[in-house]
Amino acid sequence: MRILRHYGRLPPDAQGAVAVLGNFDGVHRGHQEVIARGRAIADRLRAPLAVVTFEPHPLTFLAPDRPPFRLTTLRSKAHRLERLGVDLVFALPFNRAFSEFLAEDFVIDVLVEGLHVRHVVIGYDFCFGYQRGGGPAVLGWMGEMEGFGLTVVAPVQDGSDVFSSSLIREHLAVGKPQAAAELLGGWWELEGRVRRGDARGRILGYPTANLALGNYLVPQLGIYAVRAGLAAPDGTVTWHDGVASLGRRPTFGAGEVLLEVHLFDFAGDLYGRYLRVAFVDFIRPEATFASAEALTAAIAADCIAARRILAAPENQTERRFPEARRHEPVNRFGV
């Protein structure tokens, strides 16, 4: 899978795709259905499948004071999109000029003259262009004029709930990663480069890999059972069971929100490496302890709880993360 940050002067093998349009934050089961429809059409037309998305997320640009809300960064999104059989990702820079594109200009400049799309697939609620002036109707009549097809995918839901990024955020905000996973079709992940901390975990006998949240959504603070994925140079990922603390470390004086991950039965240097952290279940809220000894005892209990949760058959990694067999692992992101 290739990631491109532009839509002009594309090589021939990046043109003529079936293009699926959207932000796809979280790449949840509703998004997956839209992409699957695109994959089926691309196979029928013998064309590549492309996802056209925007970086940063338009709301990040249009509402810069809004608290972090993103479920997936581009890197995390790419992992999920590749597993769904996407061939190309156009991560188009969303800036002031792009935000002022009229819907009709976006269709002509980007989809027709840039990507030379053969077919477009969107969800029922997708809007685009200046002041959200474009949607299915605009794409429909412009497709007839410019020679590309259009498929609009109806709402996808489980029972009475339509799969949505907003509902996933609500579940994570109250410490319900299992409920979020049901909508995502996989564990929710945070990803980042391991940085040096104050080594308190090592002193207490539980060394941790420390990650800053950056522009990710901040879920319920507390202790989680997790799986941590380490990528090899060839892009394959090895998953390790662990326990994580997400919080401000109130026992030692509140600071910035930090994710501290302790990997079970692991020895090695993680500084500077990218780590994918999959949140499997919530164990308890963050707490303040009267002493280092009390904190150490709580960590020991958390480790026991995390091992029990992760050993449950329904929480096995491979059941939540089926890897695509027909695509090579991602090892270059071009970002």
Q: Are 197 and 262 in contact (CB under 8 A)?
A: no
Name the residue type at position 166. Answer: S
Indicate the residue type of 208.
T
Does residue 323 carry a catalytic annotation? no
Complete DSSP assignment for 101-120? --HHHHIIIIIITTT--SEE
Please report which residue ranges of the chain form alpha helices under DSSP H.
Answer: 29-45, 58-62, 74-83, 96-99, 103-106, 136-146, 165-173, 177-184, 200-203, 292-311, 317-320
DSSP 45-96: HT--EEEEEEES-HHHHH-TTSPP-BS--HHHHHHHHHHTT--EEEEEE--H
Residue with tokens 């594309």: 10
Residue 239 pairs with which residues in a beta bridge?
A: 229
Q: Which of 55, 82, 189, 260 is catalytic?
A: 260
Q: Taking the CB of residue 7, how many other CB atoms lie within 10 A of it?
A: 17
Which residues are known catalytic residues?
260
